[in-house]
Structure 1
Amino acid sequence: MVSTLSHIKEIERVAMGATSPRDAPVVQSWLRCLNDYRLDPAAAQEAYIVPEVKLREHREQAEELIRIGRSGLERLFSQVVEQNYVLLLSDARGVTVDFMGDPTFDNQLRKAGLYLGSEWSENRAGTCAVGACIVSGEPVIIHQDDHFDTSHIGLTCTAAPIFDTLGDLTAVLDISQLRSPTAKASQQLAAHLVASTARRIELANLMTRTRNDWVLRLARSPEFLDVDPDAAIALDGSGRITGMTHGGFGALARAMDMHGIVTRQFIGQPIDRFFDIELDDLPLLMRGQPNGDRLLKAKSGLAVFASAIAPASGFRRVPSADAAKLRNPFKDLSFGDPAMERLQARAAKLAGRGIPILIQGETGSGKEYLARAIHDSGDAAGKFVAVNCAAIPEQLMESELFGYAPGAFTGANQKGKRGLIEEADGGTLFLDEIGDMPLALQSRLLRVLSENEVLPVGALKARPVHLRLLSASHRDLAELVALGQFRQDLYYRLNAVTLALPPLRARQDLSAMIDHLLQRIGRDNGHFYRLDASARAALLHHGWPGNIRELSNALRVAAALSESGVITMECLPDALCKDEPLPRGEQPADDLRKALDECGKNVSALARKLGVNRSTIHRRLKRLN
């Protein structure tokens, strides 16, 4: 082992720009310690163990990963325990949240920092395997005097990163020895074992978190395809990548000549951008086919072996009927549209607050679906009661909403009737198309909201109610207030915050929405449907004035008319097979060019302004030259 003095002098020479025979990750870490963290190689620091309270916080935050990875850690430890290795699982901040070692050496391990609660972040401990791995995101071996701090130069440490399904580093797996008289090359087997275990933990995490998605397991050899794949990719119902094992897939991508893109950039991309496969082809890669026949060809021309696992139908992460709701009630609101994703995130934050929310959007744009998602993700134990104010005759609306006392009017039920407002007690009342509510009933609704009580028709005593109110309208309520058709005080009661749903023609995820709805129709019918290219093009070019409701109906009709599950142009409603006219009539070329100039020559902006699809603008411009 080198002396402390010679070790310090070597670091000083590297700081002055001298070349070093050490691995590049070691030299880079030394320079970070000197230049970024201002650490002194001559000032030895004892290993730092975080306080018990802090350790409990770190372990609670990493609880699910510890649970998922536990069997992998135990398997690895059984392979290395005879060589006196210690196993550390650190979180992304370098704190050891799980630990396995020989209890005989507890005191020595704790002093060396190879213990539960030790912090191995690079800015605190200097060059070390965990810290260097966190910074670089790559497996690393830090052997003996590779360590920056002289108090650690007797250790040998090997670490590999563990990424979550979206590509963020979530943990580091490390195996270390207190002493190793052998050369650094002796740790190559340790590096292989650690990297393999990290890959398996990533796979287990992916399988746990994406049970409602397709999963593609990938391997360069068919023998290990189903038992120990190199990597895995999760795909949603539209064939877009929702997650992956980033460590394994990165290595596989490089082997397949997929250069110039980091693994995180694959998320959200359609699988057919990188491989010659479509969602319809996945069943051909499921078990039952010979491993050697299940080949997936990359766009580069190289191929890997692939095994597909179908989604777990109807899976819900709830232990019982009393447990709360689906893990993410907002999941099916957006399939990649930026505006919808922003709205989804905002709605999720508001859901548990009990704040009145007004949802604005065109007919059929999904207002009730959004309202139900807000209810499901909140903590209200009661029911979700939806009322369409435009669908109830005005003369019946009062008794339907407020209920009535026994014998309140001629023809009334002798036992009376509980109104929809009371039905929503303890839950959520959703008033759709509230702009159509008569003014007289608006006054009564205002009292319900201000006094938390409802007075049935003909009753003498009010009944207490506690509910969350969500409302929606395709009309501009502020304009109705100005026209005297809607009470201003009620408007401000309803409109603590407004969520505006974009029309379908303005969304960027139309193709994915089509695939999602078609998959749902297929599940309902027990059949698999596929669009041919011309039918898909017609659906994408249509303006969808009826929004999602119109799209869903069109797809259900097309599915019913399809032969062998293939939807062609002949299966679509006639309106979808025609070109969309511009709503402003036949505009001269100069007017259209002027309108385009006013939108900064942005075709998408002009399409939104005119309420049509971008392709319609492009075709119109082409005809007008």
Structure 2
Amino acid sequence: MATGIDHIRELESVALGAPSRRDAVVLGSWRRCLDDYRLDPARACEAYIVPRSRLREHRERAEGLIRTARGGIETLHQQLAGLGYVLLLSDDRGVTVDFIGDPAFDGALQKAGLYLGSEWSERRAGTCAVGACLVTGEPLTIHQSDHFDVTHVPLTCSAAPIYDSLGNLAAVLDVSALRSAEAKTSQNLVLHMVSATARRIELATLMAQARGEWVIRFSRSPEFIEVDPDGAVAVDGSGCITATTHLAQRMLCEAVGQGAPGAAGGGVIGRRLSDFLDVDPDDLPSLTRSRAARDRLVLTRGGGAVFAHAIAPQPVVSAPQRRPVASPLAELSGGDAVMDAAIDKAFKLSRTDLPILICGETGSGKERMARAIHECRGRRGRFVAVNCAAIPESLIENELFGHVPGAFTGAVGGGHKGLIREADGGTLFLDEIGDMPLALQARLLRVIAEREVVPVGGARPVPVDLRIVSATHRDLADLVRQGRFREDLYYRLSGAELALPALRARSDFEWLVRRLLPAGRVVGESARLALIRHDWPGNIRELVNALQFAAAMAGDGAIEAADLPETVLARRAVPVAAAAEDADDELAAVLAACGWNVSQVARRLGVDRTTVHRRMKRLGLVPPNRRHT
């Protein structure tokens, strides 16, 4: 193995344009590290573990994926047992959100960055399997001195991308080892195994999300069409493709001569299956198990052929509920009716380009909703959040629109791109839009109308393609009447409006507490009642702070009322628990007013749910939908 000095010299020679024996993937990554990220090969870059608060945010975003992928990861780990490998699941930003390794080597794994919370983006860690996979979108191995940073040279890492059902690169599955054989070819089988597992995770994700639609699996071999297909798509009743695995997307594109897929969906999502295959919706029943696998050969529009296995929509056996939504949105509610309605509306809007205005009190989760909408849409660009109230008025123009070189005294020499252009291809989230200075509102209106931005000091407009989602706790219509907000901008931003309920009005309060509670912590009965009785003027943001404070105060034990912040204990609703036992008419009235939602009734009366249920039983109060006629 080359020494650290030899490795640095090789990197420096590549920077000068000298030929190299490295493969194209490694050389491409090295040049990005040198030219784009300006990494210094002589400066050691130790493994970086994100703070716990950030890790929690990353894990929350990837919760659905973690749950789906876990079975596949555990199976792969068993297949590699005893060989010294650790398995990492990284999100689309390179942060490890799940991992399986030998606990006996925890210290060494954490030091090497093969641990939960480690960030393996190229910009942070240099050339590495996860980072290179995120850039190329292809399975690959970065072996020993392929790594850019000398501290990572002992490692061998093989990674494969995991795409979501809309064609976006959502995660990377990585298999790494602290030590390995010298030859890179020793990792070929590992790369094959990790690629196969990633493909199965994509298939499991699609199957879980497409229960109400036809699913068509594809394989080049009839023997494997039902047990291990190459890929799959979901189609609706009209034969339009609604979801796809990455390999199926690639197969369909290549079948009609489109080449490898590019942007999300690769030109497949939303198109008819018959555009790619000689199959109409009426033909799908003939591709089920009712026929032998060898008889299910389907011709492509490009003259080729694949074997197909169609799976009919699964019948809905549970009670009618709101339509299934993609996991980033579904994870925002625990069953509150108002929140569910907002989520259902957001899901429908996420597939459009309409600008969305999210209204709600400060701290009620407006940015979380906006980010979930962005993730459901599947744009490849970034989600860029701008707090219009937090940036000084003298700086907001430059921050949003950027500037050309030399635009003003003190300007950065190379100019500044600006947050609007940073969001090109993605979503620009304008929080507290009601606080944007009136003078800048006209410029923002032009960005929305013309889809172009002119930097400060510039003359030529730069085209941008972005989705605008804005949010406010103010009444924008009232600001328009006062002349403090442009009416034309208001109507441009409010192509659709979403209203989020305040925390004190949500019936899924206890679900939120469990979800936001630090891992491994338990809330005692006294704390639970105190949390229920508080009126939460700071909404979800206040709840998060209160739970984190209480966890710190409680040490290793259960959280009790005494561990909560004084502001929570002092701001209880009117204590009517004692009087409520005799206020039978009041209970009946509150039940009716709350639509017989027991959780909401309990919070309004300042009692726990069991008290409400006990009194309902004693008085014979039964919800209308359970009464016998």
Range of TM-score over shorter length: 0.5 to 0.7
Deviation, structure 1 residue 16: 1.1
> How far apart, in 1, do the equivalents of 2:116 and 2:49 lie?
8
Deviation, structure 1 residue 81: 2.1
Letter in 2 for 1:141: T
Deviation, structure 1 residue 210: 2.0
Deviation, structure 1 residue 281: 1.2
C-alpha spacing 1:3/1:331, structure 2 compared with 1 (3 Å): closer
The aligned counterpart of 1:342 is 354
Aligned mate of 1:303, from 298, 302, 305: 305
The aligned counterpart of 2:196 is 196
> How far apart, in 1, do the equivalents of 2:195 and 2:248 lie?
9
The secondary structure found in structure 1 opposite 2:165 is coil
Residues 444-482 of structure 1: CA distance to partner in whole angstroms, max 9, x if unpaired? xxxxxxxxxxxxxxxxxxxxxxxxxxxxxxxxxxxxxxx
Q: Counterparts of 1:127-142 in structure 2 under 5 Å?
A: 127-142=127-142
> How far apart, in 2, do the equivalents of 1:331 and 1:46 lie?
41
Deviation, structure 1 residue 259: 2.0
The aligned counterpart of 2:69 is 69
Please say if residues 156 and 179 of structure 1, whose CA atoms lie closer than 8 Å, have aligned partners that are also in contact: yes
Q: Which runs of 5+ in 2 are unaligned?
A: 325-329, 360-372, 374-468, 478-495, 508-591, 596-629
The secondary structure found in structure 1 opposite 2:223 is helix
Deviation, structure 1 residue 308: 1.2
Residues 249-294 of structure 1: CA distance to partner in whole angstroms, max 9, x if unpaired? 4257547755265352211111111111111111111222211111
Q: Counterparts of 1:35-434 in structure 2 under 5 Å?
A: 35-247=35-247, 249-250=249-250, 253-254=253-254, 258-259=258-259, 261-262=261-262, 263-314=265-316, 316=321, 324=337, 325=340, 329-330=344-345, 342=354
C-alpha spacing 1:290/1:331, structure 2 compared with 1 (3 Å): farther
Residues 345-401 of structure 1: CA distance to partner in whole angstroms, max 9, x if unpaired? 9999899999999xxxxxxxxxxxxxxx9999989999xxxxxxxxxxxxxxxxxxx
Residues 285-331 of structure 1: CA distance to partner in whole angstroms, max 9, x if unpaired? 12222111112211011111111122234474599996645896459
> How far apart, in 2, do the equivalents of 1:260 and 1:29 lie?
21
Letter in 1 for 2:286: L
C-alpha spacing 1:40/1:351, structure 2 compared with 1 (3 Å): closer
Letter in 1 for 2:284: L
C-alpha spacing 1:34/1:356, structure 2 compared with 1 (3 Å): closer
The secondary structure found in structure 1 opposite 2:53 is helix
> How far apart, in 2, do the equivalents of 1:308 and 1:326 lie?
33
Please say if residues 351 and 378 of structure 1, whose CA atoms lie closer than 8 Å, have aligned partners that are also in contact: no
Residues 44-73 of structure 1: CA distance to partner in whole angstroms, max 9, x if unpaired? 111111112211111111111000111000
The aligned counterpart of 1:31 is 31
Residues 170-210 of structure 1: CA distance to partner in whole angstroms, max 9, x if unpaired? 11000011011230011111111111111111111111122
> How far apart, in 2, do the equivalents of 1:332 and 1:55 lie?
26
The secondary structure found in structure 2 opposite 1:307 is strand
The secondary structure found in structure 1 opposite 2:98 is strand
C-alpha spacing 1:345/1:23, structure 2 compared with 1 (3 Å): farther
Alignment TM-score, normalising by the size of structure 1: 0.53
> How far apart, in 1, do the equivalents of 2:301 and 2:189 lie?
33
The secondary structure found in structure 1 opposite 2:97 is strand
Deviation, structure 1 residue 247: 4.0
Please say if residues 199 and 248 of structure 1, whose CA atoms lie closer than 8 Å, have aligned partners that are also in contact: no
C-alpha spacing 1:47/1:312, structure 2 compared with 1 (3 Å): same
> RMSD in angstroms over aligned alpha carbons?
3.7
Alignment TM-score, normalising by the size of structure 2: 0.53
> How far apart, in 1, do the equivalents of 2:152 and 2:499 lie?
52
> How far apart, in 2, do the equivalents of 1:142 and 1:113 lie?
15
> How far apart, in 2, do the equivalents of 1:37 and 1:350 lie?
31
C-alpha spacing 1:107/1:321, structure 2 compared with 1 (3 Å): closer
> How far apart, in 2, do the equivalents of 1:186 and 1:28 lie?
22
Please say if residues 326 and 376 of structure 1, whose CA atoms lie closer than 8 Å, have aligned partners that are also in contact: no
C-alpha spacing 1:322/1:17, structure 2 compared with 1 (3 Å): closer
> How far apart, in 1, do the equivalents of 2:157 and 2:498 lie?
50
Residues 102-153 of structure 1: CA distance to partner in whole angstroms, max 9, x if unpaired? 1111111111111111110100100000000111111111000000000011
Letter in 1 for 2:111: K
The secondary structure found in structure 2 opposite 1:188 is helix
> How far apart, in 1, do the equivalents of 2:258 and 2:182 lie?
37
Please say if residues 252 and 276 of structure 2, whose CA atoms lie closer than 8 Å, have aligned partners that are also in contact: no
Q: Counterparts of 1:13-24 in structure 2 under 5 Å?
A: 13-24=13-24
- Structure index of larger Rg: 1
> How far apart, in 2, do the equivalents of 1:51 and 1:335 lie?
31
Q: Which runs of 5+ in 1 are unaligned?
A: 358-372, 383-423, 428-625
C-alpha spacing 1:103/1:343, structure 2 compared with 1 (3 Å): closer
Deviation, structure 1 residue 241: 1.1
C-alpha spacing 1:251/1:177, structure 2 compared with 1 (3 Å): farther
Residues 544-589 of structure 1: CA distance to partner in whole angstroms, max 9, x if unpaired? xxxxxxxxxxxxxxxxxxxxxxxxxxxxxxxxxxxxxxxxxxxxxx
The secondary structure found in structure 2 opposite 1:83 is coil
The secondary structure found in structure 1 opposite 2:123 is helix
C-alpha spacing 1:169/1:260, structure 2 compared with 1 (3 Å): closer
The aligned counterpart of 1:515 is none
Bigger drift between 141-150 and 7-16 goes to 7-16
Please say if residues 77 and 87 of structure 1, whose CA atoms lie closer than 8 Å, have aligned partners that are also in contact: yes
Letter in 2 for 1:148: F
Please say if residues 249 and 268 of structure 2, whose CA atoms lie closer than 8 Å, have aligned partners that are also in contact: no
Letter in 2 for 1:271: L
% of aligned pairs identical? 52
C-alpha spacing 1:378/1:291, structure 2 compared with 1 (3 Å): farther
Letter in 1 for 2:53: V
Letter in 2 for 1:211: R
C-alpha spacing 1:15/1:376, structure 2 compared with 1 (3 Å): closer
> How far apart, in 2, do the equivalents of 1:251 and 1:126 lie?
32
The secondary structure found in structure 2 opposite 1:206 is helix
Letter in 2 for 1:246: H
C-alpha spacing 1:131/1:202, structure 2 compared with 1 (3 Å): same
Please say if residues 256 and 276 of structure 2, whose CA atoms lie closer than 8 Å, have aligned partners that are also in contact: no
Letter in 1 for 2:275: R
